[in-house]
Structure 1
Amino acid sequence: MSTSAGYQSPVVTVASALPKRRVDSSVLIVPVVSGGDGEEGSEARAAVVAGPHLDADAVAEIEAALQALGAKGGSEQLTRVVVPALPVTSVLAVGLGKSRDDWSAETIRRAAGAAARSLSGVEHVITTLSDLDLEATIEGLVLGAYRFSEFRSEKTAPKDAGVRKITVLAPDTKAATKDAAAHAEAVAAAVATARDFVNTPPSHLFPVEFAKRAKALGEAAGLQVEVLDEKALARDGYGGIVGVGKGSSRPPRLVRLAHLGGGRKGKKVALVGKGITFDTGGISIKPAANMHHMTSDMGGAAAVIATVLLAARRRLPIDVVAYVPMAENMPSATAQRPGDVLTQYGGITVEVLNTDAEGRLILADAIARACEDAPDYLIETSTLTGAQTVALGARTPGVMGSDDFRDRVAGISQAVGENGWAMPLPEELKDDLKSTVADLANVSGSRFAGMLVAGTYLREFVADGVEWAHIDVAAPAYNSGGPWGYTPKGGTGVPTRTMFAVLEDIAANG
């Protein structure tokens, strides 16, 4: 699963033993720990975490080679050695930190990702990390191997194809083991799809093109697809989407993607994702510094599209319907102005005090429309507010919404390693959104609690009885710093894994 010319995930296979013959252009990834037997005061050195797939002689050879290089096995520390007795070109030892009885899935995922990121020129990866956690290993390797080179010329394009095959070693190759591997492979491929969308520049991913790609992927996955163009949006009263799109020569769209797997008695879940393909701020224009990062302002839409595609691929026994509003927020003679009033879908009027608070305007339309389908749950995600970054930093999404469902989503997000954090929606914040001329203003007059104010605004468009959660990924959707773990520079795919895990939880538990 990928966007047109996007990243092609490696092929994953499960094996019960190392290959008998030497594999060209291959690396065996093994986990190591620091400190040998872990006793206090012992010499810091890398010791292999031995599982059933390495015999004592192989372990001894690997440890001798690592000791000769002074490897210590610190967290995500990488050391590559040659062990002639093994049927691979080389061995890559990846550190898990200090020795202990078990490691979290996220520790394994990050170690696998760090290893995969380092393997330029290697086509085939084999690993015993999977002895510790098979699914986390696959996710980490596939996502760590991710690269986006669609717009590289021959001058700077990678000279190798990168990791094309991953073999994970497991105690057996039974159906349950293979299904677990397929699950992890599908999840990682979905995250890569979201990354591809985010990394595609706005010159090539504007609303019409974004909708076209989403439609093609949706139809290929067997989803029901509907796309509303600018005329249909105006006709049907989507004032927020139309208003934000007025300043651009490239018109807005609303895409509906439906996976109907629940039957008459199954749960219904709505997904909504912000698809601002580029955000200048409009008339309330942003500072020039780092404005190019606004290529990621459709990160929520990317994750939602990837998630509903994954729900179809994994045949979840629930209904999942995604609404994805897409627009480009530009300043021009036709752009909406601060002080304009628009009417959101459903009839609520809004005074637009700041055109850079545009995400909530398009989301409100999509949320109101999604609620007409009478979902049991609604999950909305967006790169909504810079205040998320101020409050929680670059790696922690803020989760708001109905108390119980908010906490459920945040807990699942933490369990899968995306680290969402529950945030409140104090009732008094609604007073800050009062307008002198309309039902609501799109921003408050206060500089405080910006993320919570945005959540409060969106809450006004959620129908009574719908459990909902909003996930603000303003910073987590796009890594503007250096790569780490399985996370590259650029699009991260957050919160695709969170949303899909929530859908699986709903499918299993209601």
Structure 2
Amino acid sequence: MSSTPALELLGATPGPDALTDVDALVVGVRPGEGGADPAVAGDTAVLGELAGELPALVALLGGTGKAGEVTRVPTRGAIGAAQVLAVGLGKEPGADTAGEAPDLAEQVRRAAGVAARTLHGHAAHVVTTLPTLDLAATVEGTLLGDYAFTEYKKDPETAPTALARVGLVGGGDGAGDEAVVTRATTVARWVTAARDLVNTPPNDLYPDAFAQRARALAEGAGVTVEILDETQLAEAGFGGVLGVGGGSSRPPRLVRLTYSPANPSKKVALVGKGITFDTGGISIKPAANMDHMTSDMSGAAGVVAATCLAAELGLDVEVVATVPMAENMPSGTAYRPGDVLTMYGGTTVEVLNTDAEGRLILGDAIARACEDSPDYLLETSTLTGAQLVALGARTPGVMGTDAFRDRVAAQAVAAGDGGWAMPLPEELRGDLDSRVADLANVTNHRFGGMLVGGIFLREFVADGVPWVHLDIAGPAFNTGGPHGYTPKGGTGVPVRTIAAVLDDIARQG
């Protein structure tokens, strides 16, 4: 993981001669009207006389202002900084873009992330004018874009160094700005913590190790921790967790985290899938890309980080997280297709495919979480490959109780994680009927696979509890190149979404 750069609020816009020790000045640019030169966005005072020349210089170097584009402009002594890094923001958000442009905050997050990634290892002291557009988004994007996971490098000191200092031009609200920076920094730090968990290889992050990492993080944030081992799981009847974890020499765990402020407005149950590695079990996966299954605990990582984040922010909502952790391996003790598992609470499930294991451990966890009588339940998991087929690699599917589903989807988009509300068609429920048990863990067809996963989980939600299932199979782990503030590997989705939902509930009920 990269070190966190020192963030400095510069307050009043510094003059162009004040940047004598600055390696780069970051500015945002947008496409010009009708093919004109790109337009500089935000406060240009720091550019001095260069402000009028910059659009033409960017265009001369091939820059257009499109989203994610980077143009380096040497200043040749016109200002104190050695170079201007012009980062494309894309089109102005608005009705005329027909959904092409994200909102302003997300544009700024992405631009700040692109700048940080570009300068990582090549600059130590940077000043950015992006806070004049959105201070919180600039902080989040910069810190998340500067991330690098170097834990397993032979000599991490030879890896490109992170930014050391970032000056933030804009604001001027004093203590108000300081509070914005502190909050955004805290959010980014816990997103980074989730990324670190996801990027840790499964030989070092097996169920008990994951549970102990969760304990350390939670206790550091003032969150109460309970860990159930395999014996306690058996005594309590967690048949789904034990069934999935039975094929591994490293037994399963169930972690319970509780954040209880003095006068909470509501109680929210969080549940996250913690499959520390998924071979598919007896229904084994193809070898190609199986290494990506190191990320099958991303939901659990997100829930652990979000619970700690809620505690650190002091949100006025009680959070109880139930996090099942297991390793799905094939062996002589593994569960088989044809087995019937008795889940926590007594529901029986016929296993038709051992690679549909996440819903089994989540069914146990959801049933247990509902015993706490929450006002809301939010579960998240890398549940189905069908999510990628339906929505692509960057858009989580949001399913559940209609009103709460739509509320979560809106918060997910505003937070920058993205999300799209999906239905749970009643006609698909019959396809989960089992010949021998209460239900089967998969259907006999591939239609609506993401929705079927949500329908299965719904069976374990107590009557009257507003709930949401967030399928993050694609968004939680970036298998392509980095983009915006998103690195390759663990992304930290959906920490910001969960935090935004918790904050919204604390404020609105």
Shared fold per TM-score greater than 0.5: yes
1:88 maps to 2:87: no
Partner of 1:138: 139
Which residue number in structure 2 is paired with residue 14 of structure 1? Answer: 9
The corresponding residue for 2:338 is 339
Correspondence 1:240 to 2:240:
yes
Q: Summarize the alignment of residues 255-404 of structure 1 with structure 2, pairs less than 5 Å apart.
A: 255-261=255-261, 263=263, 266-404=265-403
**How far off its partner does 1:90 sit?**
2.4
Aligned residue for 1:227? 227
Distance 2:240 2:364 in 1: 6
Equivalent position of 1:204 in the other structure: 204
Deviation string 1:67-97 (CA, Å, 9 cap, x unpaired) is 5534332222111223224333322111123
1:192 maps to what in 2?
A: 192
Give the Cα–Cα distance (whole angstroms) in 2 for the partners of residues 177 and 505 of structure 1.
21
Q: 2:39 aligns with which of 40, 43, 47?
A: 47
Cα distance in 1 for residues equivalent to 2:388 and 2:63: 36
Tell me, yes or no, if the aligned pair for 2:387 and 2:473 is still in contact at 8 Å: yes
After superposition, the Cα gap between the structure-2 partners of 1:197 and 1:53, relative to the gap in structure 1 and judged at 3 Å, is farther
Look up the SS of the partner of 2:179 in the other structure.
helix
Instruction: Flag structure 2 segments of 5+ consecutive residues without an equivalent.
Output: 95-100
Which amino acid counterpart does residue 81 of structure 2 have in structure 1?
V
Per-residue deviation at 1:57? 1.6
Deviations along 1:127-185, one digit per CA (max 9) or x if unpaired, are: 1011011111111111111111111113x865432113322122314222211122211
C-alpha contact (below 8 Å) 2:135/2:171 kept by paired residues: no
User: Aligned equivalents of 1:158 and 1:399: distance in 2?
Assistant: 42
The answer on 1:32 being equivalent to 2:25 is no
Q: Which amino acid in structure 1 is aligned with residue 52 of structure 2?
A: A
Equivalent residues in 2 for 1:436-475, closer than 5 Å: 436-475=435-474
Residue aligned with 1:181, SS = helix
The answer to whether the 8 Å contact 2:282/2:334 transfers is yes
Shift in CA distance, 69/426, structure 1 to aligned 2, threshold 3 Å: closer
State, as a whole percentage, how many aligned pairs show the same letter.
58
Cα distance in structure 2, aligned partners of 1:138 and 1:214: 26
AA aligned opposite 1:486: Y
Q: Aligned with 1:213: secondary structure?
A: helix
Separation in 1 of the partners of 2:5 and 2:343? 44
SS in 2 for 1:179: helix
Q: C-alpha deviations, 1:181-204, integer Å up to 9, x for none?
A: 222111111111111111111111
Instruction: Give distance in 1, aligned partners of 2:361 and 2:382.
Output: 12
Q: 1:3 matched to which residue of 2?
A: none
Q: CA RMSD in A?
A: 1.9
Of residues 19-28 and 410-419 in structure 1, the stretch that sits farther from structure 2 once superposed is 19-28
How far the C-alpha of 1:52 sits from its partner, in A, is: 6.1
2-structure distance, mates of 1:362, 1:23:
57
Q: Name the residue aligned to 1:124.
A: 125
**2:418 aligned partner:** 419
Q: TM-score, normalised by structure 2?
A: 0.93
Cα deviation per residue 1:388-428 (whole Å; 9 max; x = unaligned)? 11111111111110111011111111222222111111122
Q: Are the structure 2 counterparts of residues 18 and 274 from structure 1 closer, same or farther at C-alpha, using a change threshold of 3 Å?
A: same
Structure-2 separation of matches of 1:117 and 1:7: 11
1:432–1:444 Cα contact (<8 Å) kept: yes
DSSP 3-state at the match of 2:194: helix
Across the two proteins, how many residue pairs are aligned to each other? 498
Quote the offset at 1:56 in angstroms: 4.4
Inter-partner Cα distance in structure 1 for 2:191 and 2:438: 38
1-side partners of 2:332 and 2:250: how far apart?
Answer: 14
Alignment map for 1:97-108 (pairs within 5 Å): 97-98=90-91, 104-108=104-108
Change (3 A) 1:392 1:72: closer
- The SS at the match of 1:118 is helix
SS across alignment from 1:202: coil
1:65 Cα offset (Å) = 4.4
